[in-house]
Structure 1
Amino acid sequence: MTLDLGCNSIDDLPLVELDATAQAELVRAGRVTPEELLDAAITRIKRLNPALNALSASAFEAARERARTNAGDGAFAGVPTLLKDLIAYPGQPLGLGSRLMSGQIAPAGSPYTEALDAAGLVVLGKTTTSEFGLVGTTEPLVTGKTRNPWDLSRSTGGSSGGAAAAVASGMVPVAHASDGGGSIRGPASLCGVFGFKPTRWRTRSAGLPKDMPIAAILSEHCVSRSVRDSATWLRVTETEDWAEPLPEAADLFANPPRKLRIGFYGLDAFGNLPDEAARAALEQTITLCHSLDHTLVPVEGPLFDGRVAAHAVYDIMAMTTSAMVDYLAPGLAPDAAIACLEPYTLTLIEHARALPPSRFVEAAAEIAAAGDMAQAALDDVEVLLSPTIPFTAFPLGTISPDCPLQVIRRHFERSAAYTAAASLAGWPAMSVPLFWTEEGLPVGSHFAARAGEDALLFQLAFQLENAAPWLPRLSALSRTLACRKS
């Protein structure tokens, strides 16, 4: 089902259609207060969340107090935002998308959330995610289905589906997200927003020990309505000792990329072609890049054994999940586990407990080897272009935590078949919303570059945004959603 258009704009629309950078500029100029920005976001959330189900928890009163007293004058001074419910923020629930964590409140944050506070962002709640971020859709049993703003019968993808839905619908202009194989970029593609994954280790710690194998493929960042918001978010969260700090967004915009050699490919890591809509999006993006005077050449794409890598990631996820559940709920009885945890999570734990301890090291080595093999794909080109996800947003219920194991694994392999290489190799990568189907569903285009070339990707993103702006579509969606009767 879609949403009906046909009413006049409402008072909060001029604010929700602005990106975070513009909202912060209004605050610094004294034209709007942080409280006014916050009230507009809260009004929007209360109107839309019953239909979209993008929030797992709200903290409106705490956010109001921060907006009144402590928004500061940082890059995002007074701008309301949401955090994915896989990251701790002091005083707010930490549910991890699981019934196991119901009612748990985080006592502290992390260097990452401290950086967001210092930038002036006002956190007003948490967004939905799959249990422990494990499933490629956002339909956890604890909060229910999160719905795609472009079509309420469809999924947002996962695991950052709540964040993507919140930004696409205009609840907030930018929201935290995380990516372990495509969990930022996939939902960004399905929801028509900009999704960037930074270079490995570029950002501050969000609390995960660096020596955990899963940490090497996990990135913290955001989904946004504009490129400049994403670039600024990275500037304020990158490690203080990064060798070449990211230039300011205005400088990246003012300095377009040199003529690039872009390698494009359609076959994924398993030798499959994307669906018709994703093929059309790729062809249109190739044409757009040609028009911007870049050289486009066909390539094979990252070459590594996709099935070996997928199996290794599956084993690492299983062992990490098992250890995490043991830590969060030591001595949890089998009956209690069955009552609290989703079927897929229980299957992972069962699988992990059947593995020998040596498998942890072996799987980590296989993941590292796949990343090393993938590096060769950038030997003769500066940027790689492919689909982000090989299909458009799929109907809710297609994939869910109570589906059979093989269904979930096949979906994971299919949906991450283009995005996983950047995670394995540690590259920066982005999904750029450049195409919509005749039915009005967005399809992202995926770009990746060598580790450390985040600035180059942002320069290209600014160029693409200027040549084929997507904000008008998001603004139209905002008006459509505003007119919907709850």
Structure 2
Amino acid sequence: MADEIVFKSVAELSAKLAAKEISSSELMQTFIARTKSLDGRVKSFNSFDEPGALAAAKAADERRAAGQAKGALDGIPVSLKDVIAVEGQPLTCSSKMLANFVSPYDATVTTKLKSAGAIPWGRLNMDEFAMGSSTENSAFGPTANPWDLTRVPGGSSGGSAAAVAAGFAPWALGSDTGGSIRQPAALCGIVGLKPTYGLVSRFGLAAYASSLDQIGTFAHSVEDAATLLGVIAGHDERDSTSYRAEVPDYAAALKQKKGPWRLGVPKEFFGEGLDPEVSAAVKKAIEFYKNAGCEIKEVSLPLASEYAIAAYYIIATAEASSNLARYDGVRYGHRSKSAKNVVDLYFQSRAEGFGEEVKRRIILGTYVLSSGYYDAYYLRAQKVRTLIRQEYQRVFTECDALLSPTSPVPAFKIGEVGDPLAMYLLDIYTIGVNLAGLPGISVPCGFTASKLPIGLQIIGQPFAEADLLAIAQTYERAHDWKSQHPEL
């Protein structure tokens, strides 16, 4: 019974709550029991507040019994990547630097979830400060892929993807700076949605690269991703990059007939470095759309393919260098006990508090912003970013959306990719979307011979999430990938 419940969609859980087939307290207890029993092997959670979650579930049951439920989501748990603020709960960013930090306020997305009655359930592991593609860079240890515990779940939102895939949470929030939602979703066999930059408030999101970071969703189904997006999207005065756009009912829009669509396939995304099994599964998904009446058109993204990685790792590290300067051992965060003076305090606190990958990116970012190198690197990378954005705009005059692999490879073994550059190249298909500020979604599209999930990435036009979700659901409805779950 428990296994059946934990893998139900949120739409199904909501219906069961409404029909009084299960209470929110029973639902919460089921997720808590499964997590406590199995997460010692997966390690997707950094922490969770069991008494607080049960108290919130009891309150939801009381509201529902009194006919005062806040809505369809009242009493349903949702887990959050440990980079999103929840008042009174740890906000560690999976770093020693913030190991003992407790958030004094809620992020905007947290406030919206609570207003809808959803129950924030636990803090999910991640690559430290969202810097990584495997969740191996966590100060609390790596997260394992529920499909194969010797392999990575992807990153940086690996804990979020693993928790949903393992049935520890019905859905979750993560952040996507260069593929950190879509790539782990692909490697864990679930749906991962990165919205258009500016659609979801970043207030309360610990910053990595402010012009690239975007909060998004993990779920078992496209419908659940649409529902969660509808809750968290919208303008926020506290976020200067928040866009004033009307937020439609994304879940309701899925019930409207749409398509067929003009779908582009970037030819550069099917070249060297793409795993043969991933290529075959994605091409089979593309063939499905063709047979469904969609116009399939080969397109070219030469700039995004050749220069996106370089531009991204200049822009992102430069912004990280600026954002992480606040962790100085003075105001909050880790403070060295061995420092002898103020200068030593800065050096020692950062040396002790940050992990190797974070240090590497701060150093690189500081270098490209330094006198004499700013124009040669940072300014040039920003110009390339503009060209990449324009390249996508040109392609979208011919297509409604683009189809591609999400990751060039399925989940690899923990510790297998030791070269930082090789790790960076794993984001080759996702980074351009962040540079251009576009929405993207990954949906399961098959498995390798060794039962590792494969993801199909669909890239949409700015603020066209309703169409993007409809395209994704068209594929999802015709296949049963989302009904398959790992056996722990």
Deviations 1:223-265 (A, max 9, x none): 100111100111111115854422341x333223221111113
Q: CA distance change for structure 1 residues 382 and 340 in 2, over 3 Å: closer, same or farther?
A: same
2:233 matches 1:232:
no
Matches within 5 A, 1:241-280: 242-249=244-251, 251-268=252-269, 272-280=272-280
Matches within 5 A, 1:365-376: 365-376=383-394
SS in 2 for 1:223: strand
8 Å Cα contact 1:94/1:101 also seen in 2: yes
SS in 2 for 1:104: coil
Q: Equivalents in 1 of 2:400, 2:188: separation in Å? A: 27
2:29 matches 1:39:
yes
Q: Equivalents in 2 of 1:146, 1:273: separation in Å? A: 25
Q: Equivalents in 2 of 1:313, 1:114: separation in Å? A: 31
Q: CA distance change for structure 1 residues 287 and 199 in 2, over 3 Å: closer, same or farther?
A: same
Q: Equivalents in 2 of 1:115, 1:187: separation in Å? A: 25
8 Å Cα contact 1:429/1:448 also seen in 2: yes
2:454 matches 1:436:
no
Q: Give the letter aligned to residue 454 of structure 1.
A: E
Shift of 1:428: 1.5
The alignment yields a C-alpha RMSD, in angstroms, of 2.3
Q: Equivalents in 1 of 2:256, 2:403: separation in Å? A: 21
Q: Equivalents in 2 of 1:316, 1:453: separation in Å? A: 26
Matches within 5 A, 1:98-113: 98-113=95-110
The runs of at least 4 consecutive aligned structure 1 residues that moved more than 6 Å come to none
In the alignment, structure 1 segments of 5+ residues that lack a partner are: 1-10, 482-486
Shift of 1:370: 2.4
- Aligned to 2:481, which of 470, 478, 483? 470
Deviations 1:137-181 (A, max 9, x none): 101342111100111111111001001011111111101111111
Counterpart position of 1:320:
319
- Aligned to 1:75, which of 61, 72, 97? 72
SS in 2 for 1:44: helix
Q: Give the letter aligned to residue 153 of structure 2.
A: T
- Aligned to 2:94, which of 93, 97, 100? 97
Counterpart position of 2:357:
344
8 Å Cα contact 2:229/2:250 also seen in 1: no
- Identity over aligned residues, as a percent? 29
Shift of 1:409: 2.8
Counterpart position of 1:379:
397
Counterpart position of 1:6:
none
SS in 2 for 1:214: coil
Q: Equivalents in 2 of 1:288, 1:132: separation in Å? A: 38
2:370 matches 1:356:
yes
2:50 matches 1:57:
no
8 Å Cα contact 2:131/2:137 also seen in 1: no
Q: Equivalents in 1 of 2:70, 2:8: separation in Å? A: 18
Matches within 5 A, 1:139-288: 139-207=136-204, 214-240=209-235, 242-249=244-251, 251-268=252-269, 272-288=272-288
Counterpart position of 2:337:
none
Counterpart position of 1:127:
124
Counterpart position of 1:393:
411
Q: Give the letter aligned to residue 356 of structure 1.
A: S
Q: Equivalents in 1 of 2:400, 2:189: separation in Å? A: 25
Q: CA distance change for structure 1 residues 248 and 369 in 2, over 3 Å: closer, same or farther?
A: closer
Where relative contact order (Cα < 8 A, 6+ residues apart) is larger, the structure is: 1
8 Å Cα contact 1:95/1:102 also seen in 2: yes
Shift of 1:93: 0.5
Q: Equivalents in 2 of 1:213, 1:393: separation in Å? A: 24
Q: Give the letter aligned to residue 211 of structure 2.
A: A
Deviations 1:299-345 (A, max 9, x none): 22x33255544333223332333333331234644334332221122
* TM-score normalised to structure 1 length: 0.88
2:469 matches 1:458:
yes
Shift of 1:70: 5.0
8 Å Cα contact 2:208/2:320 also seen in 1: no
8 Å Cα contact 1:266/1:387 also seen in 2: no
Q: Give the letter aligned to residue 335 of structure 1.
A: Q
Q: Equivalents in 2 of 1:76, 1:329: separation in Å? A: 40
Q: Give the letter aligned to residue 376 of structure 1.
A: R
Q: Give the letter aligned to residue 218 of structure 2.
A: V
Q: Equivalents in 1 of 2:297, 2:304: separation in Å? A: 23
Q: Equivalents in 1 of 2:71, 2:222: separation in Å? A: 18
8 Å Cα contact 1:262/1:384 also seen in 2: yes
* TM-score normalised to structure 2 length: 0.87
SS in 1 for 2:484: helix
Q: Give the letter aligned to residue 247 of structure 2.
A: P
Counterpart position of 1:291:
291
Counterpart position of 1:417:
428
8 Å Cα contact 1:206/1:220 also seen in 2: no
Q: CA distance change for structure 1 residues 206 and 398 in 2, over 3 Å: closer, same or farther?
A: farther
Q: Equivalents in 2 of 1:280, 1:307: separation in Å? A: 23
Q: Equivalents in 1 of 2:219, 2:473: separation in Å? A: 13
Q: Equivalents in 2 of 1:163, 1:115: separation in Å? A: 19
Q: Equivalents in 2 of 1:121, 1:262: separation in Å? A: 36
The count of corresponding residues between Structure 1 and Structure 2 is 455
Q: Give the letter aligned to residue 255 of structure 1.
A: Q
8 Å Cα contact 1:256/1:460 also seen in 2: no
SS in 2 for 1:264: strand
Q: Equivalents in 2 of 1:35, 1:70: separation in Å? A: 8
8 Å Cα contact 2:278/2:448 also seen in 1: no
Counterpart position of 1:5:
none
8 Å Cα contact 2:129/2:208 also seen in 1: no
In the alignment, structure 2 segments of 5+ residues that lack a partner are: 62-68, 236-242, 330-341
Deviations 1:115-155 (A, max 9, x none): 11112211121110001001111013421111001111111
- Aligned to 1:28, which of 10, 18, 39? 18
Q: Equivalents in 2 of 1:368, 1:88: separation in Å? A: 32
Counterpart position of 2:332:
none
Shift of 1:368: 3.4
8 Å Cα contact 1:213/1:316 also seen in 2: no
8 Å Cα contact 2:227/2:250 also seen in 1: yes
Q: Equivalents in 2 of 1:225, 1:409: separation in Å? A: 32
Counterpart position of 1:484:
none
Q: CA distance change for structure 1 residues 84 and 233 in 2, over 3 Å: closer, same or farther?
A: same
